Structure 1
Amino acid sequence: MSASEKTTYKGALAAAMDSGAYIKFVEIHTEMKSELEAHKQCMFIYWHRLFLVLFENMLRGQGPRYACVTIPYYNWMAASNKALAGECNSLGECSPILKELGGFTGNSPKAVTINGVEISGNCVAVAPLNHFCQSSSSRGAACAGCLPRGNWGSAKVPASVSYASVIGQVFNGTNIDKVSRTVERGCHADIHATLGSTMTKFQSPADPIFWSHHAMLDALITIFHKCRVGTRRMTFAQKAADPVAWSSCRRRVGGKLASGPPFKPTDIVTMRTGQKGSNPIDARKDPKIGRYLSGVPNRFADLLDASDLGGNSYTYEISGLLAKMYSDCGGIPKKHNPTSAPKKVSPPHTAPIPPTRTPAKAPRPRAKAPARAPGPPARAPQPPARAPTTFRRPSTTSLTPSTRASRPLTPRPVTPTPASFRDWSQETRFQSFFDWLFRRGLPQQSTGSRRLAGCRAATSSKKENNEDMTGPSPISTAHDDLVITKHMTRSEKRVINWYNETMTSNGGKSADNIADMERQVCMFQEQCLGGIVEYTEEFKALWGVQEPRCRTIVNAINSGEQQILDSSWKEKMEAHFGCPHPKNETSGSGPDT
């Protein structure tokens, strides 16, 4: 993002904090019935997708100057590449966006009670955090004016956010249920735990980094959708019947997993506000933020395709290894044949407000490169009661207008899946490792761009990019839903060279080798990047996780339950990256929580 775009984004955050709208999102994320739909089950991704849409609409509603604001996504995979390449040592040092959004140096340790829960950390008062107000009832001098954060300068970059691990998390599952749960317990949980302090609590939306973190997760699911479901336009009935994009599970009830009725495609997403959870009301009726949900599709199956949300549609601009994931889908065979006839779906009891209520805006631009403030989406904000919605982009790129927004949302022809994608033997072998890992990760519980018209297109260039570029000048190509910027940073090139050379030396890309690459990168962190940092007991209990993803893998290797197939894996990795921080070299612990 350009300097002016960053300033505009931070200005929107500050304005939202001042208006009292920002803290409403902390209320939603902590409210009991809302939280039961948000975490620890299959709707994690789709619930948070709507949450992001609502938040971005709210930011745009803070005034005409913010009408084109989009959420920048935090590309922590790029941070992992830099750490592997030895360009930096900590998550804070490897992630420009963490510094851009206030950094992690506070005046002094301080406890702040955020929506009823006391949270300690370095209380950062750098803009926009100097505008932070910890509850709906706090005003003026009673506002904290700072936000507790962990010690990101000593936080290790978890291996679960590496390219080799993320490929498995995104492409391992046969449907959104498995992928959503895997990502939630993998890269999602590890970033929350590693950042510490406010980010370890359900009050985490108080930190602007929360939004960029979830925008990155949403970008990954957008890639999954393209690779496993396709880019065809589907009717609601087709979405609800799609075995990959829609997969239900039982609801959480009373804190117990899988103890309630299953989610239905027509279920309306629950989002309620209320200070400390008292006297909650439907967010659509909240006087501060209700108007920003007007016209937004709100049934779970409405949210399957980010490019098909009517006036709330959005896209991403991606580059480097994210673009590679988008283009080659991890090299894992596609299992779903989109030609199957959709089943009949009964109409919802309560139809969501039709998207047509929203001004005919183009789909909103999605997140941009983390280190930069979101660029103006390409859609023209309409005068309606609610601000246009655009979204987040990748860490070194900017949003680009989605050409689709101006076209009628008519169904696209269904293209049969090529036979080459139906390679069941490889898929089965690949699944054996990930099915094992998926089961191991289950918590032990009882039962259960899109551009706005009138906004200039955000562009990426070597000059504005926060990453060092060594390749040819970026060439952007529109791909239906996403915009690809063809360039790689130095660290990305080093990582992909290691990945490809190792794959080739072991016989080429195969399901077994893809799974083995994740084992290697997890063990490399354990042995050469300072070790895997464990979760606290409090974090495990709150988020329903047992241990970091790579801890599960490394323990299984050490016990003989799993094995690294490439016997010379460490020599190969050290040839590319060295062994910068042997586990016993320092006694550094995780970030303050």
Structure 2
Amino acid sequence: MVRARSEMIAAERIDYTSAVVCLHHKPAQLPSAEFPGVKSRLDDFVATHINYTLRVHYDGLFLPWHRRYLWLWERALREECGYRGQLPYWNWPLWDNNLSASPLFDGSETSLSGDGEYDPNEQPITNGNLTIPRGTGGGCVRHGPFKDIELHLGPFSRTLTSFTDIPSPGFAYNPRCFSRSLNDWVASRYTNRTIVDTLLASKDINEFLTVVDHWPPRMDGVFGVHGGGHFSLGGTMQDLFASPQEPAFFLHHAMIDRVWSIWQDRDEETRRYALNGTGVILNPPSAPLVTLDTVMEFGVLDQPRSVREVMSPVEGGLCYTYT
């Protein structure tokens, strides 16, 4: 049974973060000649996300691919680093007005580390009529269990105009600190209780995906809950390609998977295998629609899997439910 991280006792939270740190120190499986920036087992997951970003975001594979990716992450924590719990989720609405007070981001030893140091050079982000105020940090994270981790891949630009190939810097080695900039303005607007209720009230998968993602942010200021979680943490989490380097990435996506799972359970007949979109980012008209037989790839992490295998969290080798 998967629980919110806030429901875990201190020892369970430390067990999880210790296992994540463990993956930072485990040797990589990807070949260094082809992936020079991959230096650890955690980097295997980051490079895999980079490699498939243009096929599993803002399209019909977003939900199923990330469901399997989360399960592979939990399996690695368990089998390679001795973790005995489950992958927790980040229950967004509980602290959407005060992220720094959350037990996830308060900087304590039982947290996922706190805000980054204040960087006076961080600027607001503007897209059309939507301007996102800057967060409260922007620099290196200096507190909590991840204060000393080193990132190796990315960063990728937020201003990409072409989505046909993996952009620079690709898989280059770029050692640097982990950064964060907590942003209550984003969190309170795009990860609140109303957003979750709207997701769960969606009539069909198209409506559900519309609430999950708007990319780019619409001119009227609507910002999907997926992007809302990423931009509410800023820094490393804002990187579309390399964001799995942010420790909260997997908990954010676990919450998305949780809401999807609850939504599916409420109408088994019409929602369990409901799909919409293609297997190409932004769903270009020329791309074929995703079906249950569409094959998803996970590189070194796993063998190819059909979409059908991951449409239920209790089938196809998966075995978990959410509280």
TM-score (norm 2): 0.70
| Structure-1 residue corresponding to 2:289 | 262
| Structure-1 residue corresponding to 2:150 | 132
| Structure-2 residue corresponding to 1:215 | 254
Alignment equivalent of 2:45, drawn from 14, 25, 28: 25
Question: C-alpha separation between the residues in 1 aligned to 2:183 and 2:57?
Answer: 28
1:199 is matched by which residue type in structure 2?
M
Counterparts of residues 476-515 of structure 1 (less than 5 Å):
none
1:122 is matched by which residue type in structure 2?
G
Counterparts of residues 325-336 of structure 1 (less than 5 Å):
none
Counterparts of residues 461-480 of structure 1 (less than 5 Å):
none
| Cα pair distance change 1:62/1:109, threshold 3 Å | farther
Shift of 1:8: 1.0
Alignment equivalent of 2:140, drawn from 118, 123, 127: 123
Counterparts of residues 444-459 of structure 1 (less than 5 Å):
none
Counterparts of residues 22-421 of structure 1 (less than 5 Å):
22-31=42-51, 34-63=52-81, 65-66=82-83, 68-80=84-96, 83=97, 90-93=98-101, 95-99=102-106, 100-106=111-117, 121-126=138-143, 127-135=145-153, 143-144=175-176, 146-150=177-181, 152=182, 155-174=185-204, 176-185=205-214, 186-202=224-240, 203-229=242-268, 243-251=270-278, 253=280, 257-271=284-298, 283=299, 286=300, 290=301, 293=302, 298-310=305-317, 312-317=318-323
Q: State the structure with more CA Rg.
A: 1
Question: C-alpha separation between the residues in 1 aligned to 2:198 and 2:282?
Answer: 29
Shift of 1:2: 1.7
Secondary structure of the corresponding residue to residue 130 of structure 1: coil
Alignment equivalent of 1:10, drawn from 17, 24, 28: 17
Secondary structure of the corresponding residue to residue 15 of structure 2: helix
Secondary structure of the corresponding residue to residue 296 of structure 2: coil
Shift of 1:132: 3.0
Question: C-alpha separation between the residues in 2 aligned to 1:206 and 1:109?
Answer: 23
Shift of 1:266: 1.3
1:91 is matched by which residue type in structure 2?
L
Question: C-alpha separation between the residues in 1 aligned to 2:310 and 2:187?
Answer: 31
Aligned length: 257
1:213 is matched by which residue type in structure 2?
H
**Cα contact 1:104–1:153 (8 A) shared by 2:** no
Deviations 1:57-93 (A, max 9, x none): 1111223x32x1322211012124xx4xxxxxx3333
Secondary structure of the corresponding residue to residue 122 of structure 1: strand
Shift of 1:301: 1.6
Deviations 1:448-488 (A, max 9, x none): xxxxxxxxxxxxxxxxxxxxxxxxxxxxxxxxxxxxxxxxx
Secondary structure of the corresponding residue to residue 106 of structure 1: strand
Shift of 1:39: 1.0
Shift of 1:184: 2.6
Question: C-alpha separation between the residues in 1 aligned to 2:147 and 2:316?
Answer: 31
2:267 is matched by which residue type in structure 1?
R
| Cα pair distance change 1:29/1:72, threshold 3 Å | same
Question: C-alpha separation between the residues in 2 aligned to 1:169 and 1:316?
Answer: 16
**Cα contact 1:125–1:147 (8 A) shared by 2:** no
Counterparts of residues 418-457 of structure 1 (less than 5 Å):
none
Question: C-alpha separation between the residues in 2 aligned to 1:262 and 1:227?
Answer: 25
Question: C-alpha separation between the residues in 2 aligned to 1:269 and 1:9?
Answer: 28
**Cα contact 1:91–1:155 (8 A) shared by 2:** no
| Cα pair distance change 1:163/1:35, threshold 3 Å | same
1:301 is matched by which residue type in structure 2?
R
TM-score (norm 1): 0.40
Shift of 1:154: 5.7
Shift of 1:25: 1.7
**Cα contact 2:93–2:193 (8 A) shared by 1:** yes
2:233 is matched by which residue type in structure 1?
L
2:263 is matched by which residue type in structure 1?
F
Secondary structure of the corresponding residue to residue 149 of structure 1: coil
Shift of 1:133: 3.6
RMSD of the TM alignment (CA)? Answer: 2.8
Shift of 1:178: 3.2
Question: C-alpha separation between the residues in 1 aligned to 2:271 and 2:294?
Answer: 18
| Cα pair distance change 1:211/1:195, threshold 3 Å | same
Secondary structure of the corresponding residue to residue 208 of structure 1: coil
Question: C-alpha separation between the residues in 2 aligned to 1:17 and 1:61?
Answer: 15
Shift of 1:213: 0.6
